[in-house]
């Protein structure tokens, strides 16, 4: 076992044992300090996101920085209420008693984050963990190197070491970290690595959140308004170059409107990113050469309807639309996680049903239709992490909606108060006086069982 990791983790254990994080004022102060430090490092964060992923400053602000501001402000506004001990009604068997539930921190938490929204996905879980009184060891992705550096700088200037530490590195470091006995593991990443994390967590029975991915279907029925549908799909799919866990992975389109939708999708791509996308400052880049090569391999044998240009050195991949004729092709095997939009046509509803079953339990499911009651019935009849009728991605923007997957797409929920709940144990206890001690519960029961039965019947 790595000695330097051992000493970082020992330090975290001692920090938690010191009970410093139990003070609510201390937690509030740390969240305020974090907000202030992020504000004074906005330019550095935007530059790092540009260098890692070619994100424009506007996109970085909206999808990463603002998101974090909002989560911190929600925690600052809610924390005093969230941490309160709550009284619950007692019952006859316990009479007289006062019964309570109090949230307590879990302890030392490990966070492993991905590269696609490397700032937001590292800080958002941390906010809830700190608000709930835990320590955090963050291991960001080895791909988003510049953002990892900014994260290290910001977090080390706000938090004492032991309270929050950042350890950088790839799978080796991550596996070493997973060998320690954590009180909670919060993982965001691929299904494949999620399984490795779950196995490692099982050794110590560590509770875990797994925020994973998958292939998100997006259905467009024949009643959908083509223009706004195309606009919202293009935005959801090509923001961050399709490297968004809840981006629509592929479209299932009614045959009657397929051609007009494709025409409008192309029109919207051109309008948003211009004819010469490579020169468009609002269009990002693919994270690495390895991911570029994967995307190139996906379109090699496909029928390309639009786009398809790429430049591996520049990590540029044009917004691309492909028509799927064979569901067994590589592109339909697993999550694309890039700017390639496959289109599948349907005629009968049963075909949609089969496709959703095939990619069951996605992280997101979308339907575009002017028949809203059908849309509701549709979304309510399939299991998926979260979704939308007539939009993509934006369910993530409401902190009152718990965010997370189900089945293959993950377990656990966060955002807003849900993050605080994730990192808390809601501890129940009862408090009784000693001056009274009703004899009914004590043996021998022989002479009181009939009376007891009557009472139990009365109160149940």
Q: Does 174 bind ligand NAD (CB under 6 A)?
A: yes
**CB of 335 or CB of 399, closer to ligand NAD:** 335
Q: How far is the CB of 457 from ligand NAD (least distance, A)?
A: 49
Q: How far is the CB of 114 from ligand NAD (least distance, A)?
A: 3
Residue from 171, 225, 289, 451 touching ligand NAD (CB under 6 A): that is 171
Q: Which of residues 229-258 bind ligand NAD (CB under 6 A)?
A: 245
Cβ contact 248:336 at 8 Å: no
The values of phi and psi at residue 301, to 5°, are: -110, 25
Q: Which of 213, 288, 285 is nearest to 245 (CA)?
A: 213
Helix ranges, 54-190 (H)? 57-60, 66-82, 120-131, 145-158, 171-178
Q: Which of residues 354-383 bind ligand NAD (CB under 6 A)?
A: 363
The residues that bridge with 322 in the sheet, in sequence order, are 304, 342
Q: Does 175 bind ligand NAD (CB under 6 A)?
A: yes
How distant, in Å, are the alpha carbons of 6, 28, 130 from that of 114? 23, 27, 20
Q: How far is the CB of 415 from ligand NAD (least distance, A)?
A: 10
Q: Does 49 bind ligand NAD (CB under 6 A)?
A: no
Tell me how many degrees the CA angle 107-126-174 measures, rounded to the nearest 5: 80
Q: Annotated catalytic, 211?
A: yes
Binding to ligand NAD by CB under 6 A, coded x per residue (else -) over 184-223, reads ----xxx--x--xx-------------xxx----------
Q: Does 116 bind ligand NAD (CB under 6 A)?
A: yes
Give the 3-state DSSP-derived string for 313-366, with helices as H, strands as E and coil as C: CCCEECCEEEECCCCCCHHHCCCCCCCEEEEEEECCHHHHHHHHHHCCCCCEEE
12 Rama sector, left if φ>0, alpha if ψ -120 to 50, beta otherwise: alpha
**CB of 4 or CB of 373, closer to ligand NAD:** 4
Q: Where do we find the tokens 């076992």?
A: 1
Cβ contact 399:71 at 8 Å: yes
71, 211, 302, 335: the catalytic one is 211
Q: Does 112 bind ligand NAD (CB under 6 A)?
A: yes
How far apart, in whole angstroms, are the C-alpha atoms of residue 67 and residue 44?
17
Q: Residue with the closest Cβ to ligand NAD? A: 213
The residues that bridge with 135 in the sheet, in sequence order, are 108
Q: Does 121 bind ligand NAD (CB under 6 A)?
A: yes
Q: How far is the CB of 335 from ligand NAD (least distance, A)?
A: 5
Residue from 405, 416, 417, 422 touching ligand NAD (CB under 6 A): that is 405
**CB of 146 or CB of 371, closer to ligand NAD:** 146
The values of phi and psi at residue 163, to 5°, are: -80, -55
**CB of 76 or CB of 196, closer to ligand NAD:** 196
How far apart, in whole angstroms, are the C-alpha atoms of residue 401 and residue 417?
10
Its sign, for the CA torsion 113, 290, 50, 240, is negative
**CB of 246 or CB of 261, closer to ligand NAD:** 246
245, 264, 302, 318: the catalytic one is 245
Q: Known catalytic residues?
A: 211, 245
**Contacting positions for ligand NAD (CB under 6 A):** 112-116, 121, 139, 141-142, 170-171, 174-175, 178, 188-190, 193, 196-197, 211-213, 245, 335, 337, 363, 405, 410
């Amino acid at each position: 076992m790595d000695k330097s990791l051992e000493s970082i983790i020992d330090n975290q254990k001692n920090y938690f044992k010191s009970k410093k994080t139990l003070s609510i004022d201390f937690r509030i102060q740390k969240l305020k300090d974090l907000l202030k430090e992020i504000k004074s490092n906005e330019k550095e964060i935007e530059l790092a996101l540009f260098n890692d992923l070619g994100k424009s400053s506007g996109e970085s602000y909206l999808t990463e920085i603002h998101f974090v501001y909002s989560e911190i402000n929600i925690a600052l506004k809610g924390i005093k209420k969230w941490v309160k001990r709550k009284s619950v009604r007692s019952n006859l068997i316990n009479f007289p008693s006062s019964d309570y539930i109090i949230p307590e921190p879990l302890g030392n938490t490990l966070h492993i984050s991905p590269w696609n929204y490397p700032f937001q996905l590292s800080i958002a879980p941390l906010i809830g963990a700190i608000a709930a009184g835990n320590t955090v060891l963050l291991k960001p992705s080895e791909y988003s190197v510049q953002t990892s550096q900014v994260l290290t700088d910001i977090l080390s200037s706000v938090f004492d070491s032991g309270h929050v530490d950042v350890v950088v590195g790839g799978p080796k470091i991550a596996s070493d970290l997973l060998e320690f006995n954590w009180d909670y593991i919060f993982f965001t990443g691929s299904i494949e690595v999620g399984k490795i994390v779950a196995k490692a967590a099982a050794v110590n029975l560590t509770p875990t959140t797994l925020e994973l991915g998958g292939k998100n279907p997006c259905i467009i029925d024949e009643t959908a308004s083509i223009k706004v549908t195309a606009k919202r799909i293009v935005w959801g799919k090509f923001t961050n170059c399709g490297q968004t866990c809840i981006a629509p992975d592929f479209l299932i389109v009614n045959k009657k409107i397929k051609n007009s939708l494709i025409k409008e999708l192309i029109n919207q791509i051109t309008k948003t990113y211009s004819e010469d996308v490579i020169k468009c400052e609002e269009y990002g880049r693919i994270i690495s050469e390895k991911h570029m090569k994967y995307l190139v391999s996906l379109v090699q044998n496909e029928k390309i309807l639009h786009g398809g240009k790429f430049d591996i050195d520049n990590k540029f991949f044009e917004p691309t639309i492909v028509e799927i004729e064979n569901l067994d092709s590589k592109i339909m095997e697993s999550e694309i996680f890039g700017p390639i939009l496959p289109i599948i046509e349907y005629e009968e509803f049963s075909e949609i049903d089969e496709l959703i079953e095939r990619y069951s339990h996605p992280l997101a499911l979308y339907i575009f239709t002017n028949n809203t009651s059908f849309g509701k019935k549709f979304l309510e009849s399939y299991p998926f992490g979260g979704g939308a009728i007539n939009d993509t991605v934006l369910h993530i923007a409401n902190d009152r909606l718990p965010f997370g997957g189900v089945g293959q797409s993950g377990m656990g929920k966060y955002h807003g108060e849900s993050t605080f709940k994730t990192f808390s144990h809601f501890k129940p206890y009862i408090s009784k006086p000693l001056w009274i001690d009703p004899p009914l519960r004590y043996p021998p029961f022989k002479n009181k069982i009939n009376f007891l039965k009557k009472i139990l019947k009365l109160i149940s």
